[in-house]
């Protein structure tokens, strides 16, 4: 047999939190467990009817059946630029500052190929979304993990980054509202990040999939009454990085229709930002793929330009699920903070699992059928936590918590740890 030699860049990609949990779920199903999957942030809600209709109508249009090159995406790019300007009050050139993507994950994974030479550093959040690291590894770059301390609101401390690392760094990746911690960041934080990246000649990348999944609470919005979701300049709770860098001097932001519009399976997203960065990412993309089927872009245009009632409904649904799940956890004595955004609960593990999140999730799904994501799968600083995705209706979420309670009761804490147990 031929001894095939694979590239060293594949070595750090051998383990992935979602792939690992997929295998664990398969074992549980094979053993006859009824699965309640809270491990993957894939919305169970349907895309809106007017979006589906736009795609369906495209199927009968033969002109949509061929390859789609950049110039053919003009209508979508214009819709994205208009959406962004309406939401954040910043003008965008659809020709030079917007790029369609096969989901935002494509963009965050491919951008390091345009920015990093072998050995260059990327500054990534720890914990953070796994594809951010994967793109750096594929570019033969190095990762400097920026810890996100809970006591700092899960925001990195830029002053802690070593000077020698900064000298070799080319990019910083942020994402707020944050996956997995569900933390949010104020505009002042993004202003600090922009100034820091300008000072150190870094590209600032902001992954922004949860721009709309924000749970508006009384008092969080400053003066005045509750605001609508789709209004100029949006919420101060979830600013765009380009509001801190309106000249787009060093910043690029990634959006997706997966969360706001329940279009995860359609794989449609886009980047907005610095024209040079957009062009560089376009060059990488051109070497890898064309674009999606034009009908999917037509559906995305319908989503961005059509009624936004579906977005509001989705937010209300996840708001209800968040409250139901947290109430159920509190009822069994597991006290977690209430997130203001995303579709996740980031929960600190009780003893005896406080430093073994992978084993906790493996045993939980094996014994109860409840699947969650171990915090360690999102980075070293994620150890000691577990992420639950709120992708089921409240009754099923409450059933999951009952199973979790039964599981935890079979693993009592040591006497010395009892005060830390749920």
| DSSP element (H, E) containing 345 | strand 344-348
DSSP notation for 80-149: HHHHHHHHH-----TTTSEEEESSHHHHHHHHHHHHPPTT-EEEEEES--HHHHHHHHHTT-EEEEEE--
- Rounded Cα–Cα distance for residues 179 and 254 (Å): 14
Note whether 165 and 175 are within 8 A (CB): no
* Helix intervals (H) in 116-267: 130-138, 163-167, 187-199, 241-244
Grade residue 35 by pLDDT with cuts at 50, 70 and 90. Answer: very high
Grade residue 31 by pLDDT with cuts at 50, 70 and 90. Answer: confident
Q: What is the structure's pLDDT at 23?
A: 84
- Rounded Cα–Cα distance for residues 389 and 258 (Å): 14
SS3 18: helix
Q: Which of 314, 342, 312, 307 minimizes the C-alpha distance to 226?
A: 312
Note whether 59 and 405 are within 8 A (CB): no
In this prediction, residues 183-200 reach a mean pLDDT of 97
Q: Which of 207, 233, 231, 365 minimizes the C-alpha distance to 311?
A: 231
CB neighbours (10 Å) of residue 8? 9
Query: Does residue 94 have a pLDDT over 80?
Result: yes
Beta strands 269-273 and 251-256: pairing type? antiparallel
Helix pair angle (294-305, 49-59), 10° resolution? 150
Token couple for 207: 């992954």
More confident residue, 186 or 27: 186
> Mind listing the pLDDT tens digit for each residue in 61-73?
999 999 999 999 9
Note whether 173 and 128 are within 8 A (CB): yes
Which phi and psi angles does 319 have, rounded to 5°?
-60, -45
| DSSP element (H, E) containing 258 | none
More confident residue, 10 or 55: 55
Note whether 146 and 123 are within 8 A (CB): yes
Query: Does residue 118 have a pLDDT over 80?
Result: yes
Token couple for 270: 């886009």
Query: Does residue 277 have a pLDDT over 60?
Result: yes
Average pLDDT, the chain: 91
Grade residue 139 by pLDDT with cuts at 50, 70 and 90. Answer: very high
In this prediction, residues 39-66 reach a mean pLDDT of 95
In a 10 Å sphere around its CB, with 0-12 CB exposed, 13-18 middle and 19+ buried, how is residue 174 labelled?
Answer: buried
Q: Which of 312, 255, 223, 261 minimizes the C-alpha distance to 100?
A: 255
- Rounded Cα–Cα distance for residues 29 and 290 (Å): 38
The proportion of the chain whose per-residue pLDDT surpasses 70, expressed as a percent, equals: 93
> Mind listing the pLDDT tens digit for each residue in 234-270?
445 799 999 999 999 999 999 999 999 999 999 999 9
| Prior bond of 177 cis (ω within 30°) | yes
> Mind listing the pLDDT tens digit for each residue in 337-352?
999 999 999 999 998 8
In this prediction, residues 314-320 reach a mean pLDDT of 96
Query: Does residue 412 have a pLDDT over 80?
Result: no
More confident residue, 12 or 147: 147
Grade residue 131 by pLDDT with cuts at 50, 70 and 90. Answer: confident
- Rounded Cα–Cα distance for residues 231 and 308 (Å): 11
Could you tell me the domains of the chain?
A: 8-46+310-408 (3.90.1150.10), 49-305 (3.40.640.10)
Grade residue 384 by pLDDT with cuts at 50, 70 and 90. Answer: very high
Q: What is the structure's pLDDT at 414?
A: 52
Determine the number of helices (DSSP H) and then strands (DSSP E) in the chain.
13, 12
pTM: 0.91
Q: Which of 240-244, 356-360, 394-398 has the lowest mean pLDDT?
A: 356-360
Q: What is the structure's pLDDT at 37?
A: 94
Grade residue 39 by pLDDT with cuts at 50, 70 and 90. Answer: very high
| Prior bond of 45 cis (ω within 30°) | no
Q: What is the structure's pLDDT at 413?
A: 59
- Rounded Cα–Cα distance for residues 191 and 204 (Å): 11
Q: What is the structure's pLDDT at 290?
A: 87
The proportion of the chain whose per-residue pLDDT surpasses 90, expressed as a percent, equals: 81
Query: Does residue 57 have a pLDDT over 60?
Result: yes
> Mind listing the pLDDT tens digit for each residue in 97-115?
999 999 999 999 999 999 9
161: which DSSP letter?
S
Grade residue 225 by pLDDT with cuts at 50, 70 and 90. Answer: very low
Q: What is the structure's pLDDT at 234?
A: 46
- Rounded Cα–Cα distance for residues 75 and 285 (Å): 19
Q: What is the structure's pLDDT at 273?
A: 98
């Amino acid at each position: 047999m031929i001894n095939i030699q694979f590239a060293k860049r594949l070595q750090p990609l051998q383990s992935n939190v979602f792939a690992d949990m997929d295998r664990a779920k398969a074992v549980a199903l094979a053993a006859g467990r009824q699965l309640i999957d809270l491990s993957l942030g894939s919305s169970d809600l349907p895309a809106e009817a007017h979006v589906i209709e736009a795609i369906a109508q495209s199927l009968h249009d033969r002109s949509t059946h061929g390859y789609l090159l950049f110039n053919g995406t003009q209508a979508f790019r214009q819709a994205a630029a208009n959406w962004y300007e309406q939401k954040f009050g910043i003008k965008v050139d659809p020709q030079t500052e917007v790029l369609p993507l096969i989901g935002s994950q494509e963009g965050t994974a491919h951008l390091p190929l345009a920015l990093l030479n072998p050995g260059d550093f990327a500054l990534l959040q720890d914990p953070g979304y796994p594809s951010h690291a994967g793109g750096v590894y594929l570019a033969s770059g190095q990762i400097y993990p920026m810890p996100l301390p809970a006591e700092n609101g899960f925001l990195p401390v830029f002053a802690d980054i070593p000077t020698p690392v900064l000298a070799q760094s080319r990019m910083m990746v942020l994402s707020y509202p944050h996956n997995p911690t569900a933390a949010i960041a104020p505009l002042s934080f993004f202003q600090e990040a922009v100034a820091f990246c300008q000072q150190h000649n870094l590209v600032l990348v902001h992954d922004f999939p949860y721009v709309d999944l924000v749970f508006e609470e009384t008092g969080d919005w400053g003066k005045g009454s509750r605001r609508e979701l789709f209004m100029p300049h949006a919420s101060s709770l979830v600013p765009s990085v380009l509001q801190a860098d309106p000249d787009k001097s060093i910043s690029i932001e990634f959006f997706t229709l997966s969360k706001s519009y329940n279009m995860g399976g359609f794989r449609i997203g886009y980047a907005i930002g610095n024209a040079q960065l957009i062009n560089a990412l376009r060059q990488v993309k051109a070497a890898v793929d064309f674009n999606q089927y034009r009908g999917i872009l037509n559906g995305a245009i319908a989503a961005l330009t059509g009624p936004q009632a579906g977005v509001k409904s989705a937010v209300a649904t996840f708001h209800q699920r968040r409250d139901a799940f947290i109430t159920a956890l509190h009822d069994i004595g597991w006290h977690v903070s209430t997130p203001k955004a995303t579709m996740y609960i980031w929960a600190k593990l009780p003893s005896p699992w406080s430093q073994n999140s992978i084993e906790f999730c493996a045993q939980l799904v094996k014994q109860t059928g409840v699947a969650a994501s171990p915090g360690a799968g999102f980075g070293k600083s994620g150890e000691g936590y577990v992420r639950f995705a709120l992708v089921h209706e409240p009754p099923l979420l409450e059933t999951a918590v009952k199973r979790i309670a039964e599981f935890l009761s079979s693993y009592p804490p040591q006497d010395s740890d009892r005060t830390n147990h749920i």
